Amino acid sequence: MDKIMVDQQNKYYQKQFELMESSLKTTKAMRHDLRNHLAVIYALVEKGERDAALKHLTKMTDVYDDKKQYACTENIDIDSILNFKIQEAAQQNIKIALDLSIPEKMSIASFDLAIILGNLLDNAIEAVAEMEKERQIKTNINYDKGRLIILVENPYLGERVKVGNRYLTTNKEPSQHGLGLENVKSVLQKYDGTMDITQRSNIFSVSLLLFV
């Protein structure tokens, strides 16, 4: 299991580095062309050709505007996991909406973050994939005075069955039912953490509190 998680974590980091490299190339291209673009716009404005200048600005915006949503908090552990899952979800036409307020460094192992965020988002993606509409997952991660608060909410179809303390997912492999949240619980114990799960109006919500 440790080897599987390390391999998964390496994939997260690899995807993050690819995104950073792509962003860097775009930035370099912008800087290279910016002087030429400004010269054209300046000349158009000087001639009073306002509409043509605005049209040129619009083209610049369309070319350089990255409409994809990515996590960019400078916390590479969290960014790499979220960005991997965002692209994974996008392949199924699922949007992950982010609300992030975290520092660059925290006293929590990247291995533990991979288990927590990986499992929560995997479960959410699995549930939302069954939806025809409202294909969006809400993800809030906030850090305040040594407390890390994580909230993942998603719509779902039908009922999520609970057996004892374990929620059963729709996973086709029976042996995997509910194991994701059990793994999250195991990690929470290291940080004196708590997990609150609610179901209301067909919204499944998992809220975590960790002391880091």
pLDDT confidence tier of residue 160, bands split at 50, 70 and 90: low
Stretch 15-27: mean pLDDT, rounded?
Answer: 68
Q: What are 97-134's pLDDT values in tens digits?
A: 999 999 999 999 888 998 899 999 999 999 999 998 88
CA nearest to 138, candidates 102, 98, 100, 101: 98
Q: How many Cα atoms are found within 13 Å in the side-chain-facing hemisphere of 161?
A: 6
pLDDT of residue 163: 44
Q: Cα separations (Å) of 1 from 70, 115, 145, 172, 185?
A: 28, 11, 32, 20, 16
pLDDT: which is higher, 20 or 208: 208
pLDDT at 34: 82
* Reported confidence tier of residue 170, pLDDT bands at 50, 70, 90: low
Is residue 118 within 8 A of residue 8, CB to CB? The reply is yes
Residues sharing a CB contact under 8 Å with residue 154, sequence separation 6 or more, in sequence order:
124, 127, 128, 136, 137, 138, 203, 204
Is residue 71 very low, low, confident or very high in pLDDT (cuts 50, 70, 90)? confident
Q: Which pLDDT does position 176 carry in this prediction?
A: 43
User: Mean pLDDT score of the chain, rounded to an integer?
Assistant: 82
d(CA 65, CA 61): 5
Average pLDDT over residues 77-83: 88
DSSP the chain: -HHHHHHHHHHHHHHHHHHHHHHHHHHHHHHHHHHHHHHHHHHHHHTT-HHHHHHHHHHHHHHH---S----SS-HHHHHHHHHHHHHHHTTT-EEEEEEE--S--SS-HHHHHHHHHHHHHHHHHHHTT-SS--EEEEEEEEETTEEEEEEEEE-SS---EETTEE----SSGGGTTHHHHHHHHHHGGGT-EEEEEEETTEEEEEEEEE-
Residue 154 near residue 207, CB atoms below 8 Å = no
Per-residue pLDDT, 91: 87
Mean pLDDT of 11-33: 70
pLDDT at 97: 93
Kindly tell me if the per-residue pLDDT of 12 is higher than 80.
Answer: no
pLDDT at residue 80, rounded to an integer: 86
Give the model's confidence band at 159: pLDDT under 50 very low, under 70 low, under 90 confident, else very high: low
User: What is the pLDDT confidence band of residue 165, given thresholds at 50, 70 and 90?
Assistant: low
In terms of CATH architecture, what is 76-211?
Answer: 2-Layer Sandwich (3.30)
- Per cent of the chain over pLDDT 90 is 40
Q: Residue 175's pLDDT is what?
A: 41
Q: How confident is the model at residue 183 (pLDDT cuts 50, 70, 90)?
A: confident
Express as a percent the part of the chain with pLDDT over 70. Answer: 81
Q: What is the DSSP string of 61-112?
A: HHHH---S----SS-HHHHHHHHHHHHHHHTTT-EEEEEEE--S--SS-HHH
**Structural domain boundaries of the chain?**
2-64, 76-211
